Amino acid sequence: MKFRTEIDIPKGLVQIDHQSEIVLIGSCFSEEISAKFDYFKFKTFANPFGMLFNPVSIKNAVKHCVRGRTFERTDLHFHQDKWMSLFHHGSFDHADPDQVLAQINQKIVTGQKALQKASHVIITLGTSWVYRLRKSQKIVGNCHKIPQKEFTKELLSSEDILNSLKTIISLIREANSGCTIIFTVSPVRHKKDGFIENTLSKALLHKAIHELKESKINYFPSYEIMMDDLRDYRFYKQDLVHPNEMAVDYIWELFKKSWINASALKDMIEIERIQKSLAHKPFEPDSDAHQKFLKNLQKKIQDIKKRIPDLEFD
């Protein structure tokens, strides 16, 4: 008897190892996966504009990075004593506009370099629903708690989504023709849009990705794993919207099997041992036993750095 519907995930054609350069752009789920890569000491760069959810905003972020288009004071918005960019996540907000611009433009420069040398770019799409600023008629990446009356809410058409994804692919390949592009749909349920509306939103994203098959892109089924394999509320956080730690770990395990090569998987086992040892808090830091522990730990770090010279541990 089987009690789960396991999903068959093919091996990625261009496997990831510790020499790979990985760029992740998109929703909060991309942040979760980026954190996993960081823990296991892969080379990553994530979300130059902060978390973004809809295809148009992701396209705009990629365009700014690829073309090196920086922001000016006139691109910022002032609300509740803070300056902000409506195209960026709220983590960029600050009372000093010069600090906002410095942070934004530095991320664009870093993002441009990251895309140019990336071996893999992972795009996580979250929603087809967008908010358009009434004053400029531009689609924003974040409303920053500005009054709802300042925006109109709309559902992107299939054509709009497909064109945005095609532009994203074209821009990435303009910067870096040899990188591998992986799309995924976030398993996070946008409950505030409404359950029916969320289903429609995700369906439109899947439809657009399906129509990209000729573009030689890859798809990792994060959404399907959550909905069809882990279809139980015990795999959600208390908000019943976001996957919990157990679910993220499970999806990560399946991603590893699909996209990370065998040699790197072995190294990850040793890296995890080192990370756990580094997190260890001794009862007696000056004891002989702890000094021996530190000496053994240093040897493990030196041994793995012989295989992966760029590795750095805190």
Average pLDDT over residues 198-212: 96
Model's pTM, two decimal places? 0.94
Q: Which of 98-102, 108-112, 247-251, 281-285 has the lowest mean pLDDT?
A: 281-285
User: What confidence score (pLDDT) does residue 135 get?
Assistant: 94
Report pLDDT digits (tens) over 124-176: 999 999 999 999 999 999 999 999 999 999 999 999 999 999 999 999 999 99
Average pLDDT over residues 63-73: 97
Using the predicted structure, report yes or no on whether residue 214 has a pLDDT greater than 90. Answer: no
Average pLDDT over residues 240-246: 93
Give buried/exposed letters for 177-194 (b at 16+ CB in 10 A, else e): eebbbbbbbbbbbbeebe
285 or 64: which leads in pLDDT: 64
Average pLDDT over residues 33-59: 96
User: What confidence score (pLDDT) does residue 137 get?
Assistant: 96
Asked if 313 and 278 touch (Cβ cutoff 8 Å), the reply is: yes
Q: Convert the chain into a string of H (helix), E (strand) and C (coil).
A: CCCCCCCCCCCCCCCECCCCEEEEEECHHHHHHHHHHHHCCCEEEECCCCCCCCHHHHHHHHHHHHHCCCCCHHHCEEECCEEECCCCCHHHCECCHHHHHHHHHHHHHHHHHHHHHCCEEEEEECCCEEEEECCCCCEECCCCCCCHHHEEEEECCHHHHHHHHHHHHHHHHHHCCCCEEEEEECCCCCHHHCHHHHHHHHHHHHHHHHCCHHHCCEECCHHHHHHHHCCCHHHECCCCCCECHHHHHHHHHHHHHHHECHHHHHHHHHHHHHHHHHCCCCCCCCCHHHHHHHHHHHHHHHHHHHHCCCCCCC
User: How far apart are the C-alpha atoms of 255 and 247, rounded to whole Å?
Assistant: 12
Using the predicted structure, report yes or no on whether residue 121 has a pLDDT greater than 80. Answer: yes
Using the predicted structure, report yes or no on whether residue 201 has a pLDDT greater than 90. Answer: yes
User: How far apart are the C-alpha atoms of 13 and 4, rounded to whole Å?
Assistant: 27
Percent of the chain with pLDDT over 90: 86
User: What confidence score (pLDDT) does residue 161 get?
Assistant: 98
pLDDT confidence band for 281 (50 / 70 / 90): confident
User: What confidence score (pLDDT) does residue 280 get?
Assistant: 86
Using the predicted structure, report yes or no on whether residue 213 has a pLDDT greater than 80. Answer: no
User: What confidence score (pLDDT) does residue 2 get?
Assistant: 76
Beta pairing, strands 139-140 & 129-133? antiparallel
Nearest to 207 by CA among 158, 255, 242, 241: 158
Give domain 21-260's CATH superfamily: SGNH hydrolase (3.40.50.1110)
pLDDT confidence band for 267 (50 / 70 / 90): very high
Average pLDDT over all residues of the chain: 94
Beta pairing, strands 218-219 & 180-185? parallel
For 139, the token pair is: 């689609």
Using the predicted structure, report yes or no on whether residue 3 has a pLDDT greater than 80. Answer: no
